[in-house]
Amino acid sequence: MNKKLYVGNLPYKTTSDQLQELFAQAGSVTSATVISDKFSGRSKGFGFVEMSSEDEASKAISMFNGNEMEGRKLIVNEARPATPRPMR
């Protein structure tokens, strides 16, 4: 079963491909996405990585949480489910 991870404090120039390459060191990556602002297109400095198993996700958390990437300490943990947002 796939396990989704939150990756925070990413350098702003990180791409989804770079994120996928990094996490591939811990195991099989199903998807990797860097979240960007819908108006400016700039990275928001965080993203999500989906690992193919629980064990690989645990390995990725232990490998990358607190590690530096281009001078920024990454925050890696299990992603929480999205909460519904009120309509505007």
**CATH number, position 70:** 3.30.70.330
**Structural domain for 63, as ranges:** 3-78
Residue 24 CA: distances (Å) to CA of 33, 44, 60 = 13, 22, 9
Question: Does residue 16 fall inside a structural domain?
Answer: yes
CA 51 to the chain's CA centroid = 10
Question: Does residue 87 fall inside a structural domain?
Answer: no
Point out which residues pair with 72 in neighbouring strands: 69
Number of domains the chain is built from:
1
Q: Please write the tens of the pLDDT for every residue from 16-56.
A: 999 999 999 999 999 999 999 999 999 999 999 999 999 99
DSSP code at position 10: -
Here the tokens at position 19 are 């994120």
Question: Does residue 84 fall inside a structural domain?
Answer: no
Residue 43 and residue 10: Cα distance in Å, rounded?
9
Question: Does residue 83 fall inside a structural domain?
Answer: no
Question: Does residue 57 fall inside a structural domain?
Answer: yes
pLDDT at site 43: 95
Question: Does residue 85 fall inside a structural domain?
Answer: no
Q: Is the pTM of this model over 0.85?
A: yes
pLDDT at site 1: 82
Q: Please write the tens of the pLDDT for every residue from 54-86.
A: 999 999 999 999 999 999 999 999 999 888 888
